Structure 1
């Protein structure tokens, strides 16, 4: 884990490293985009034939096996998992559902003036596809995080896909009542969801994280099917003046074990704490090869010159996960995917059971949006209604604006109802 300073000897190198971290977004596209584009175009053109061919080549799936998983297989998985695991999934699901229900916006109307009523309708999308990765680790939590907000929003058709779904993932699907689950993934799975094939009806929106090829495919289909975000490798920032080195290091290692490209950053003004955290992280990752590789490549401890600078760097980097010392620290946070407060709030709790979604913006995108939420599954429809009195009151102003814009047809549509400007 690299240690850098913002001032003094090595300050120039430290500032350059921070600039590099700030520009970390979308670095994988150049490597994978051409292949992803070829796969997406093939599935768009040849449907099931290309989908099956690429699934066989990349995921080792049988070209003759059904893509749609039998719901009985999911029910069997639910019966197979230990009771303690089922209870854990149910507890996590309850918290995720409760949080999404709190987020749910309401339809409303009001009258800004006599004779005019305006409002907003909240309506769900018709269909969504939830991508569940199945690479190094089974991820039932990702299915919970992507499907439950859709259920709360009222989405009628919720589809799950995964190239090699683990028993726990199938069990989670059965627990949630999901019956449309396809064994497919990668760029070919994203393309099938976006454009549809003979076996896989298209969806309106694709959500959920994936590898670089999945992310590239989502970027390619984004104008044909809505997507949530382009999620890259996971990230952690811990900004602390008084945390315990072993606990901070444990959080850094936990997020780093997801991916060799994961980014782990510790920010402090305390040089001794930075050194101890770096040493602890190295020690704790000794038996965790992915975390060790990630920390060696992308682990950085930044020693800032002041608390104000530490906070500014934290906001500049706009991390996916952010840990701070106290509740008062939240006041200065402008950019973060999800914030964890204090030593008793380890970041993995947010991955599983807290309730807020763990599908979060990476690569600095937290400057622009928050994590996946019930809002991603909704659309807002505005409504307006005039009475004769209201049209007579507000119509002249609309006529004047229409005429100023040279849109005489607009003005005449209002005049035709007896409005005099």
Structure 2
């Protein structure tokens, strides 16, 4: 019959869900430590091991003894005759391993190894938890709120505890003891006091895992989530694409009468979710991303990786969203900077641009006509690179023109300076009342 001591090991293993062999190994090491303490403060270097009998549960101590002629301390020494019964070819000065279990070792173990054993079992349990969850990083886990501690939410996940830090919490969530919720197992850290499991309710991958759970087409790969943009607790946009012909990716995610998407919204405590069709065409993708707003036109500026989106006047506020939320999430989803304009605003801008072009063209024609009839005057460029026209100095011109003769043509507003057929510079004409007028002419 197994001893109560060994039966207790089996019970501990069963209750804590850890391998019995691991507990036995920890206890054997702990009992070896306990035996060492019985040898006094400074025992000689020697190997000591303890084995628990799997049938009886009895602990047996085996220690290394040195082979000598005359034994002075039986704890550490053995005579040659006795040693050769254990190891026939042993010689003086060598060592043999001998069973040295004290008669009262059961009492010694109970008194001295208790704390060591308990600590060892805790370490085994921690290692077992780490081994159990280390491959589950990035998974969706169902947890129960246990308590709050310094802003952290402590979650119970079977035999393990996880921490939901403040930055991974959602502001609109309300956590209370006993609440069951789904969390994203974001990180598993190995620390001195055991593995630390970090969970998240704010991570965008939580959305991915919830869709995989609710939408079979995503789980089996028929529909793919291309990108996610999320403002936790408020709104999320998900872009999906079909990987098989004949499948409606958006309809698959929404479900019959919206039941699938509603289950996800309920799990996220009412966070709004927009599912949109992904497209390899940036214009189509940007238009879809601004759903539910209707889009008239998308104009891309590839060099800036930006887009101007034209929407009907009545759709402008919907396209922008409350505090810019809709367009902000669409920009995150697509990776493009998005500017929203109403159709009427675009028409006004185009009308103003056309008027500006017409005015510029008219001015250019008037200037060309004035220059065609303007009097040509010759001037020599001074050493400081300037010329004088109607008692006012203009310049400086380039150093290569110093000492050269240039041609002047004037319109009512501007002076144009030429060198041969090349326009060198132009200046607004200075009025006669300017203080920088100079005396004399060339």
TM-score calculated relative to the size of structure 1: 0.20
Which protein has the larger Cα radius of gyration, Structure 1 or Structure 2? 2
Identify, as 1 or 2, the structure richer in helix.
Answer: 1
TM-score calculated relative to the size of structure 2: 0.19
Identify, as 1 or 2, the structure richer in strand.
Answer: 2
